[in-house]
């Protein structure tokens, strides 16, 4: 049996903390998936639609910021998927798009539909690339960079591992951040202790920050799924984490 992995990639990872989507980062992800495809199957939850749109559009609006973001998401999403499809195809990988919103997880029928559709895709070697349906849903834009969406999807699909790619080497201890020498908490067994360590900071493109990652990990933990918080800015970050070559946080 292949290990089923849900990989959540935030905007900061996809842009490598610049203002543009990094094709090199998507190539890095594709090349790792290609190397791991005999032992692992992947489902991706990817942010980045708004970041892609911002590269070539400046929308004028008298309306509130939220509608502008939804409009940007609508422009950016097809471009984002096209970039994934082009690059993945070069690595012999097939991909598909799934847009979900939180309300889909509240209804039993929609949950079953999501599960069945994604299982068919994965069983036929397609990698589902999931994003929130930002043009109709406002939750994700308000509540954190797809972290929770990733956790809910991971739980629904009963994955073996939930990997959150972010822009730090996992979660750092509060003291080490104060001292200016960040030290990674490598393994977490107690959630209460962890919540005390988290310094809340938002990422530059994303709407997440570490507290939304902790919240996501707690959703996954309820479903008995292990979460890894890994530095996605580094090349080869998934394989290096598997081989314990880099510092990252494991939430058992």
Stated length of the chain? 252
Sign of the CA dihedral running 226, 12, 31, 244: negative
> Could you tell me if 198 and 210 are in contact, meaning their C-beta atoms sit under 8 angstroms apart?
yes
pLDDT of residue 205: 55
pLDDT of residue 137: 64
- Average pLDDT over the chain reads 90
Residue 177 has pLDDT above 60, yes or no: yes
Residue 122: CA atoms inside 13 Å, Cβ hemisphere, count? 22
The span from the CA of 41 to the CA of 182, in Å, is 33
pTM here is 0.93
End-to-end C-alpha distance for the chain, whole angstroms: 21
- What pLDDT digit, counting tens, does each position of 113-143 carry? 999 999 999 999 999 999 988 766 665 555 4
pLDDT of residue 132: 87
pLDDT band of residue 64 (cuts 50, 70, 90) is confident
> Could you tell me if 241 and 227 are in contact, meaning their C-beta atoms sit under 8 angstroms apart?
no
The span from the CA of 241 to the CA of 69, in Å, is 34
Task: Report which of 92, 19, 25 is spatially closest to residue 50, judged by C-alpha positions.
Answer: 19
pLDDT of residue 76: 94
Residue 199 has pLDDT above 60, yes or no: no
Residue 13 bridge partners (DSSP): none
């Amino acid at each position: 049996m292949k290990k089923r992995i849900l990989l959540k990639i935030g905007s900061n990872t996809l842009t490598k903390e610049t203002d543009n989507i990094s094709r090199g980062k998507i190539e890095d992800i594709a090349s790792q998936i290609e190397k791991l495809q005999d032992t692992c199957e992947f489902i991706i939850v990817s942010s980045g639609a708004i970041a892609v749109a911002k590269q070539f559009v400046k929308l004028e609006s008298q309306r509130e910021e939220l509608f502008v973001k939804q409009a940007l998401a609508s422009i950016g999403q097809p471009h984002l998927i096209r970039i994934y499809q082009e690059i993945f195809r070069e690595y012999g990988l097939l991909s598909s798009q799934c847009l979900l919103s939180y309300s889909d997880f509240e209804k039993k029928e929609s949950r079953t539909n999501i599960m069945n559709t994604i299982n068919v895709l994965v069983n036929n070697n397609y990698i589902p690339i999931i994003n929130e349906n930002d043009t109709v849903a406002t939750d994700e834009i308000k509540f954190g960079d797809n972290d929770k969406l990733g956790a809910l999807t991971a739980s629904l699909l009963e994955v073996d591992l939930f990997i959150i790619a972010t822009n730090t080497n996992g979660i750092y201890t509060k003291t080490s951040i104060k001292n200016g020498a960040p030290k990674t908490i490598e393994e977490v067994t107690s959630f209460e202790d962890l919540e005390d360590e988290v310094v809340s900071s938002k990422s530059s493109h994303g709407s997440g920050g570490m507290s939304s990652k902790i919240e996501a990990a707690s959703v996954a933990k309820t479903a008995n799924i292990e979460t890894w918080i890994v530095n996605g800015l580094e090349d080869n970050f998934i394989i290096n984490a598997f081989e314990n070559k880099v510092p990252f946080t494991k939430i058992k």
